[in-house]
Amino acid sequence: METNLEEQLHTILQNRVSIFPYQYEEGVQLDDSIIERILESAIHAPNHKRTEPWRFVVFSGEGRKYLVEKQVEIYKKYSEIIGEKKLKKLQEYPLMSSHVIVIGMKRSTRVPETEEILAMGCVIENMFLTATALGVGCYLSTGGITYIEQAKELFGLSPEDKLIGFFYVGKKKEPAPEPKPRDPLKDKVKWIREQ
């Protein structure tokens, strides 16, 4: 029996999980067309006044080594606290991944900043769902150098823009992790049907 689109979408939503770079198959390079498909889905996110605030920088191949070098340099120079565990992730995660997509938000003064941030959340959800549908692993990191102001320039962002995070993509090892259970919907929703 063929499933309809809503059922397919529901299945993808329920099976979406973060898959960390250490859960990717070592040395497997995904075709760039997969990344292009993820990004093409991303840009169809809703955004007020069609500001399209999303910006992406994709690192693959030897470019991942350049990302490691620059991240470590920025982290060591500008971070108030140097954590060895964080530093290790900055050095290893890009190299464990096939591609790293750096996600930035180009600030528009036409709408409140919150609306741009909400649009970026939709962008990321589109990326997660597309990666899940394509059967590849992905993980969003907002750690490392994400909140270091001086990092923005490396990715073509201005001081008023935001560095949103790093989206790691790779071929997941099998079996993929099981989604963690969610609290029942009834615990999170209040229905008001009368005045």
pLDDT tens digit sequence for 24-56? 999 999 999 999 999 999 999 999 999 999 999
Overall average pLDDT of the 66-86 stretch = 93
Q: Is the pLDDT at 167 greater than 90, yes or no?
A: yes
pLDDT tens digit sequence for 9-22? 999 999 999 999 99
pLDDT of residue 2: 57
pLDDT of residue 3: 66
Gap between the terminal Cα atoms of the chain: 44
**Lookup: tokens for 178:** 């099981």
pLDDT grade for 177, boundaries at 50, 70 and 90:
confident
* pTM of the model as a whole: 0.94
Q: Is the pLDDT at 151 greater than 80, yes or no?
A: yes
pLDDT grade for 83, boundaries at 50, 70 and 90:
confident
Which superfamily does CATH assign the domain made up of 16-172 to? NADH Oxidase (3.40.109.10)
pLDDT tens digit sequence for 84-106? 999 999 999 999 999 999 999 99
pLDDT of residue 1: 47
To the nearest whole percent, how much of the chain has pLDDT over 70?
A: 98
